[in-house]
A = this chain, B = another copy of it.
Amino acid sequence: MHGYRCDRIGVAGDLRDFGGWGRIGAMTEHLDDPAANGPAILAALTGHRTEHPTVWFMRQAGRSLPEYRAAREGTTMLESCLNPELAAEITCQPVRRHGVDAAVLYSDIMVPLVLAGVGVRIEPGVGPVLDQPVRTAAEVDALVGRGPGDASAVAREAQMVVQELGGSTPLIGFAGAPFTIAAYLVEGGPSRDHLAARAMMHSDPASWAKLMDWVADLDADFLTAQTAGGARAVQLFDSWAGSLSEADYTRCVAPHSARALSGLDRTLPVIHFGVNAGHLAVPFAQVAAAASSHPVLGVDHRTTLDHALASLMVAGMTMPLQGNINPALLFAGSEALEAEARAVVESGRRAPGHVVNLGHGVPASTDPDTLTRLVEFVHSL
């Protein structure tokens, strides 16, 4: 949507061994980056300055849009995600309405499980509910025998989006991180504290690792279908990793999140975002950096971009950031919202690349016009 000046920024990589699962590539491979002549948002994600800030919103597709509710009528959430025509239409709606700089695939974190034949439904007002929770070693063993299923509907959705949007507005792929998906499997549905999942990683670490590897492989297939269909970046979204200590996250979760991303072309930007995971900035960044020469840290609204950057620097890392307008300010009037957006853009200038986003998904009750005006405002800065 916007051009950009090609002021390249040195992005230092962390070259130390990263646990037992591979060496982090240098993050300076973007000198021959094809993104350099493409859409501005890809330039920002790969560490280039752009003329204007670029912006998209997590959960921009669906939920708050009346045209989404009209299009969805008569289908369940999961049916709509697996209907390529309908899902592509819903993916494109916020691009048309708001003029955001990227589309994000309309999907659900449960879709990889559905493709693998796991019995799950989304109950309105509740969330995903599994037919059977998976808690014992035997239940894990029975589950992990399943293959990932056929993701061609997902690839087709991506293709249709890319066809409609052309080259100017790229599609960002999306998957829920293995911990979030596995927590649903173990709990059997939404839970406030994910106690059963957090207990299993300690009481039966072997079954936990088996389950997480299986989910990671489903995620890998799901993401590969999206990039095969034309997605030019991906975001791994961990709703619940924020409930973990850094030690538990690093030991019992991070290797599996890295596995979910390991099948991707390393030149694709990988955005890694966790809700309330400011204390996990470093391992989140490491997971993205293990998978991509263009890692990006998604920052939630509780952490300032400056603080996230400082956390990375203490660990000898730096990378472009995404975020992190406080979603509460969508309800606080335009003056407060614009002040917040301006502050976010200003701190983003101190990062080696920055894409504006909310610090969490678009709340369902958001007035769509507020988002449209916010995009215009961000582009004016």
Contact = CB atoms under 8 A, between A and B. Distances in A.
Given A243-B302, A304-B247, A328 B363 contact: no
A327 B328 CA distance: 30
Interface residues of A, number: 37
Given A193-B363, A279-B278, A302 B332 contact: no
Interface of A: 193-196, 198-200, 202-203, 242-248, 276, 278-279, 301-304, 307, 326-333, 336, 340, 360, 363, 365
Q: Which 10 A-B pairs have the closest CB atoms?
A: A198-B328, A199-B331, A203-B332, A202-B332, A202-B336, A199-B332, A199-B328, A203-B333, A195-B328, A245-B302
18 contacts: A193-B327, A193-B360, A195-B327, A198-B328, A199-B328, A199-B331, A202-B329, A202-B336, A202-B340, A244-B302, A245-B302, A245-B304, A245-B326, A246-B304, A276-B276, A278-B278, A278-B279, A279-B307
A331 B244 contact: no
Nearest to A303: B279
B193 A242 contact: no
A327 B191 CA distance: 14
A194 B194 CA distance: 20
Contacts of A199: 328-332
Contacts of A247: 304
Given A199-B331, A279-B279, 13 more contacts: A193-B327, A194-B328, A195-B331, A198-B328, A199-B332, A202-B328, A202-B340, A203-B332, A203-B336, A242-B302, A245-B303, A245-B304, A276-B276
A195 B364 CA distance: 11
